[in-house]
Chain A
């Protein structure tokens, strides 16, 4: 370990890091503090402490239905993108076919193409297909943007997978399906859970696709926040935002925990 020195360079670097961190965290911190305000307005710093805006959130049927929809859509997105992503990753890692690299890049493209363009495209497509404003339509769109994460995580895991374990299972009498069930999937479990959480969050956090593809009468949670900001601006938004941030942080923490456990298990 090197000694920490108090050279001017180090001090400058530390100061810079603190500023960056502050700029990143400060808005979240402000929102969290504001959410506990007893007053009727978004006010910083808050005057006193109260949970009334949390109570409002939990009692308001509009907020509750938006939350339920977001969870439903995010959950279905995780399921669909996992199934599709697993099969795609199998093909990408183990298949031998022309255009494999082109397909890999194509699948990653939702990461690069601005979401707004995807949203506009899907909007017109959905109008024609008459699925605009349906839950299925939104799940399909979210699956699209979740796929790159799922494929990246699962193909990395499959790439490092020791195929002799599958051979051993086949040799010992397991059919291809039983091999998948008893050997391949259990060993990929950490990667599958990580991929599912990433897909969930990709859907749960999305506002752009939701703005274009949901009905005003049945918005997702981020869209409901959006609507509220434009109409009433009361501190409920702060409470909701705090809860959403908490869910995302919990999700990422779970991913980290699983990866750490997997790393320990491999040793």
Chain B
């Protein structure tokens, strides 16, 4: 049974002096789910979070927690725990006092409070540091205090504003795992804001990609990554290839005519025949192969260079019409050797491609 609440946003909007920061955001999130608002800076993700928290008054729309509107409720009555970007720990309070602050504000008795503080300080592994002040802790430890403080009062929603941005990569990965683990165990509903797409994919149940104050795409990480609905999302998350084309109908089958004149089979597309589009292909779904390979779609190209990534290599391949595509190949230590200047075929399965609006 998740302890978190459900969240719905209805046409939530914020205008500053006529200019829109958030232009009507709607979404529904089930209890106990981890939602990431992902987008570049200025996309409205932080403003959306601040409206949910109650620090920014919406110009329009509504926020529903468990079906009840909280849009007009003052921040301190919303019962949401927030982890701020730079933690916002109270410098004049010890770790234990910081964690106990929300309980004190709720007039919890001293003994009950101490029990809960002990439980949560232990949960984030900071028992030896309970009497220390925030300035005496490392960045990662401060992060844990902020987390414990945001969770200790069993809030209906947990809000996180780029909480891992200040940590180095190794610590970030470790904290991602810990946060995800605690979220699952306690059944928390989390709204997480980040511009780091990798973080969004690994942690979330649902991802809302934001662009220019709107939700550009909403779905599970797998849907967002594998079946992007527009070029912005495809481009923002992961590496992508876009091959310009025109759609053609031929005997009940949809074909795409490339600029070189070659025709390739594609999966389903909403675009009408004759419309200009781009074939979207992830580098790892492309394969370097010989001309007699069994793949249905093959285009000739020349290998222009290799970027060595350790576990894989990324090849730049120039196609016949001058367009360069990226092909990712795992370094398994066997298979066809590839060198710069090689003439090869780039092949893919029609189902791995999506034709998007150009």
Contacts and interface: CB of A to CB of B under 8 A. Distances in A.
Interface stretch (B19-27, B29-37, B99-107, B113-121): B99-107
Contact of A165 (B53, B54, B88): B88
B252 to A, nearest CB: 58
A208 interface: no
Interface stretch (B74-82, B169-177, B309-317, B331-339): B74-82
Contacts of B88: 162, 164-165, 167-168
Q: Which of A168, A169, A183 has the most CB of B within 10 A?
A: A168
Contact of A168 (B54, B82, B106, B135): B82
Interface residues of B, number: 28
A170 B75 contact: yes
A265 B133 CA distance: 10
B84 A178 contact: no
A167 B55 CA distance: 7
A187 interface: yes
A171 B91 contact: no
Q: Which of B53, B74, B76, B80 has the most CB of A within 10 A?
A: B76
B246 interface: no
B53 A171 contact: yes
Give the size category of A's interface with B: 20 to 34
A164 B90 contact: no
A193 B198 CA distance: 49
A172 B135 contact: no
B90 A168 contact: yes
A102 B325 CA distance: 62
A173 B76 contact: yes
A121 to B, nearest CB: 42
A175 interface: yes
A169 B84 contact: no
B110 interface: no
Contact of B75 (A171, A187, A267): A171
Provide the main secondary structure of the chain A interface.
Answer: helix
Given A164-B84, A178-B105, A267-B135, A170 B76 contact: yes
Interface in A148-176: 162, 164-165, 167-176
A186 B133 CA distance: 15
B144 interface: no
A172 B149 contact: yes
B173 to A, nearest CB: 26
A171 B105 CA distance: 11
Contacts of A162: 88
Nearest to B159: A171
A165 B55 CA distance: 12
Contact of A172 (B54, B55, B92, B153): B153
Contacts of A172: 76, 81, 101-102, 105, 149-150, 153
Interface of A: 162, 164-165, 167-176, 178-179, 182-183, 186-187, 265-267
Interface of B: 53-55, 74-82, 84, 86, 88-92, 101-102, 105-106, 135, 149-150, 153, 159
30 contacts: A162-B88, A164-B84, A165-B91, A167-B55, A167-B84, A167-B88, A168-B82, A169-B76, A169-B90, A169-B101, A170-B55, A170-B76, A171-B53, A171-B54, A171-B55, A171-B75, A171-B78, A171-B81, A172-B101, A172-B105, A173-B79, A173-B102, A173-B106, A174-B76, A175-B74, A178-B76, A179-B76, A182-B101, A183-B90, A265-B91
Closest 3 CB pairs of A and B: A173-B105, A172-B102, A168-B88
